[in-house]
Amino acid sequence: MGELKNVIKTLFNLQTQIFLIVETLNEIGNNYQVLRKIKLENFFDKSMNFEVSSHTLLSNYSIIMFSSFIEEYDKYFNPSHLSGIDSLRIIKVKEKNRAGMKRIRMWKDISRFRNHMVAHSFRFKNKSFFSEDMEELRFKIPNKISEKNLFAGIAHLICLNIRDEFIECVTAFDNNQVMLDKMKLIGEDIDNEKELIELYAQMRS
């Protein structure tokens, strides 16, 4: 059940991140009056505030997480990938989750929006989004906060059904392990202002 455990852990972690993002967006909405008073001091657009910036960035990131959840579920939580697992059990869960996935697929442009607008370089078949002859683009995605809440709720239900069917796998998880246990992030203390001054002299002279 090694690969099944990996797939379930991936889905559960994605669902957790989705929940965190959407709940944060909910709180941004609940506290928008306070957050709008916080200006981004060094940003070129002096009208930009923390409510708009945080909401925009998290909304974009939510699409990346939504797309990753769908891809993991479709590509890896299936009998062809999990060849060592009783396929009837996977099919059973897939059937329970059918209504939820059908609703998710109504947002048919999640992957396209993710690929072209938030994860890569604003290009469509090598054509820049900023080209003067670029036609208006339309994306059917969870754009409203109510839609994001719905997606998060569906993802939660999907994971509950997976947990119930494969409870023996889930109970074997090490709940004390976190993702940072499996990686090392290498950063360093730098004097960014000093370096920028030096680089400015080299690059703008």
What is the value of pTM for the model shown? 0.92
Q: What is the pLDDT of residue 110?
A: 97
How many CB atoms are located within 10 Å of the residue 83 CB? 9
Can you tell me the distance from the alpha carbon of 128 to that of 114, in angstroms, rounded to the nearest whole number?
A: 15
Can you tell me the distance from the alpha carbon of 67 to that of 195, in angstroms, rounded to the nearest whole number?
A: 38
How many CB atoms are located within 10 Å of the residue 151 CB? 25
**Nearest C-alpha neighbor of 11 from the set 63, 95, 71, 94:** 71
DSSP symbol at 136: P
How many CB atoms are located within 10 Å of the residue 8 CB? 21
Reported as a single tens digit per residue, the pLDDT across 125-145 is 888 888 888 888 899 999 999
Write down how long the chain is.
Answer: 205
What's the mean per-residue pLDDT of the chain? 94
Reported as a single tens digit per residue, the pLDDT across 148-158 is 999 999 999 99
Largest CA distance in the chain: 68
Query: Is residue 189 predicted with pLDDT exceeding 90?
Result: yes
- Average pLDDT in the 173-187 region? 88
Can you tell me the distance from the alpha carbon of 10 to that of 4, in angstroms, rounded to the nearest whole number?
A: 10
Q: What is the pLDDT of residue 196?
A: 96
